């Protein structure tokens, strides 16, 4: 089973991978509302979103299925409008109608956004919807939702908290647990129809205990299917040629932390960065549908380049 690890020179803690998946769903909540894709409404929103998504060659596996689905839904939409043209209550429709192509399109688009995200170009600026989703959580969510976004988005990039901010981070976890946003554990059954009488702790208590244990060491995150921490890549060393694994543990930590602070300052978790440092360009789903959309996005792109 996968884990999100919280590493420190003095000890580690583990958060279950199932909780990371839960954090992802929490972080995506605000953006799902902002995308406003309802399979029982008109396809205008889907049409607008797909206008920003470049078409690709269809290929043998239907890579362009979203645009193909849009064309199918638009053709059916035209058929429906003809059937309703001149219709009066109590009279039969002049032709068959269907809303299934519309529902298929919108459900497929919602799934694409939720699973892998989509590359899009808006106002001449390229971006990825996964970043937009997480940025939307940062501007619309509470601190526990912001932290959920940062853990899900950057645990594999070794986001970290410095020693003096460890208690602050633990307090946000406490807020999330108290509100029920984070899960202390799960009840489950050993059999499909059996009683849910087994308890699976998600690991948050380990995490907060570690964070509060001291305030003079950083805590760095990693994900079990990626490199742990410390590692030679973030330290800027080759694993074999530079004798990384022969270095004392304390020197590995010191070297890797120096590399992390130097190369990924954006990954630091702190009161002044939690909601301010965004994923990629500082653009949200709300910006896409704002009346001054193009100005917002070009300003964000210019600021990023200027930084």
pLDDT at residue 1 tops 90: no
pLDDT band for 199, please (50, 70, 90 cuts): confident
Q: Cis bond leading into 124, ω under 30°?
A: no
Structural element, H or E, at residue 13:
strand 11-16
Of the segments 55-69, 116-130, 243-257, which one has the largest average pLDDT value?
116-130
- For residue 66, pLDDT over 70 is answered with yes
Token pair listed for 183: 């899960």
Q: How confident is the model at residue 86 (pLDDT cuts 50, 70, 90)?
A: confident
Residue position matching structure tokens 């602050």 = 168
Q: What is the pLDDT at residue 188?
A: 85
- Where does the pLDDT of residue 198 fall: very low under 50, low under 70, confident under 90, or very high at 90 and above? confident
Residue 278 binned pLDDT confidence (cut-offs 50, 70, 90): very high
Q: Alpha-carbon distance 179 to 188, whole Å?
A: 22
- What's the average model confidence in pLDDT over 139-166? 97
Note the pLDDT of residue 262: 96
Whether 46 contacts 106, CB under 8 Å: yes
Residue spans of beta strands (DSSP E) within 140-223: 160-161, 185-188, 198-201, 219-223
Pick from 53-62, 214-223, 281-290: least confident: 53-62
Between 289 and 186, the more confident residue is: 289
The one-character DSSP state at 244 is G
Q: What percent of the chain has pLDDT over 70?
A: 97
The pLDDT, as a whole number, for residue 200 is 86
The residue whose two tokens read 């193009």 is 294
Has residue 232 got a pLDDT over 80? yes
DSSP state of 43: S
Range 248-275 average pLDDT: 96
Rounded to the nearest integer, the mean pLDDT of the chain is 93
The pLDDT, as a whole number, for residue 242 is 64
Given a cut of 50, is residue 137 above it in pLDDT? yes
HSE of 27, CA atoms in CB hemisphere, 13 A:
26
Residues 74 and 165: their CA atoms lie apart, in Å, by 53
Instruction: Note the pLDDT of residue 35.
Output: 97
* Residue labelled with tokens 């583990």: 14
pLDDT-based confidence at 95, cuts 50/70/90?
confident
DSSP for residue 55:
P
Q: Is the pLDDT of residue 241 over 80?
A: no
Chain segment 3-12, per-residue pLDDT in tens:
999 999 999 9
pTM given for the model: 0.91
3-state DSSP percent of the chain in helix, strand and coil, to 5: 50, 10, 35
Distance, CA of 139 to CA of 283 (rounded, Å): 10
Which candidate, 35, 240, 25, places its Cα nearest to that of 118?
35
pLDDT band at 306 (very low <50, low <70, confident <90, very high): very low
């Amino acid at each position: 089973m996968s884990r999100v690890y919280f590493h420190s020179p003095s000890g580690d803690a583990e958060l279950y991978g199932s909780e990371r998946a839960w954090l992802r769903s929490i972080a995506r909540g605000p953006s799902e509302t902002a995308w406003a894709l309802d399979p029982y409404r008109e396809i205008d929103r889907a049409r607008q979103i797909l206008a920003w998504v470049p078409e690709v060659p269809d290929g043998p596996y239907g890579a362009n299925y979203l645009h193909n689905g849009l064309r199918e839904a638009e053709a059916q939409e035209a058929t429906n409008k003809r059937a309703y043209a001149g219709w009066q209550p109590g009279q039969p429709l002049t032709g068959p109608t269907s809303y299934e192509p519309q529902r298929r399109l919108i459900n497929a688009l919602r799934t694409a956004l939720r699973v892998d995200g989509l590359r899009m170009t808006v106002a001449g600026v390229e971006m990825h919807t996964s970043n937009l989703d997480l940025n939307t959580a940062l501007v619309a969510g509470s601190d526990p939702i912001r932290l959920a976004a940062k853990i899900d988005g950057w645990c594999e990039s070794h986001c970290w908290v410095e020693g003096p901010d460890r208690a602050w981070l633990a307090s946000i976890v406490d807020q999330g647990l108290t509100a029920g946003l984070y899960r202390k554990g799960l009840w489950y059954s050993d059999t499909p129809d059996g009683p849910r009488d087994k308890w699976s702790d998600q690991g948050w208590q380990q995490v907060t205990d570690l964070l509060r244990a001291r305030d003079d060491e950083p805590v760095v995150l990693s994900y079990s299917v990626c490199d742990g921490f410390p590692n030679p890549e973030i330290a800027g060393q080759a694993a074999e040629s530079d004798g990384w694994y022969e270095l004392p543990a304390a020197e590995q930590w010191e070297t890797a932390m120096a590399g992390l602070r130097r190369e990924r300052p954006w990954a630091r978790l702190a009161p002044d960065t939690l909601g301010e440092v965004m994923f990629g360009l500082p653009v949200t789903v709300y910006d896409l549908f704002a009346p001054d959309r193009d100005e917002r996005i070009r300003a964000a792109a210019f600021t990023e380049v200027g930084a």
